[in-house]
Amino acid sequence: MTLAGIQLFQSLKTRLGERETEALVDYVDTTLKENNKEVHETNLRTLATKEDLWATREELREDLWATREELKGDIAKTREEIKDVKSDVIRWMFAFFITMMLAMLGLFLKH
């Protein structure tokens, strides 16, 4: 019996009687020990081991590399799109420049 069990026994002995108090204290001790075992078993089931952590780390590393490669592909696509838009803008600017020059030349020759 633990110190707390002995104190409980001493305080309840006068009210319940010695046999009843001893039975109650034994029941409480047994219940606490069973609960501690259940908590310990639950902890063993739910806590991660080193192997679990290393496996998770490797999975995260693989996911990171896959995401990195995907982002590189997306960046390359975006650069190609920017090049296409840039060439389109240059063509349109050249077309408007020629149109404006022809309009100005037409106005100049009209007078």
Taking the CA atoms of residue 77, residue 83, residue 84 and residue 87 in that order, the dihedral angle to the nearest 10 degrees is 180
> Which structural domain, as residue segments, surrounds residue 20?
1-47
Burial class (CB within 10 angstroms; exposed 0-12, middle 13-18, buried 19+) of 24: middle
Q: How much is the pLDDT for 91?
A: 94
Mark whether 99 and 60 lie in a shared domain: yes
pLDDT band at 4 (very low <50, low <70, confident <90, very high): low
Mark whether 55 and 76 lie in a shared domain: yes
Mark whether 77 and 93 lie in a shared domain: yes
Number of separate domains in the chain: 2
How much of the chain exceeds pLDDT 70, in percent? 90
Q: How much is the pLDDT for 3?
A: 67
Does residue 97 surpass a pLDDT of 80?
A: yes
Q: How confident is the model over 34-48, as pLDDT tens digits?
A: 888 888 888 777 777
Token pair in block for residue 24? 């109650």
Mark whether 38 and 82 lie in a shared domain: no
Mark whether 67 and 28 lie in a shared domain: no
Report whether 25 contacts 1 (CB < 8 A): yes
Does residue 1 surpass a pLDDT of 90?
A: no
E strand or H helix at 64: helix 50-110
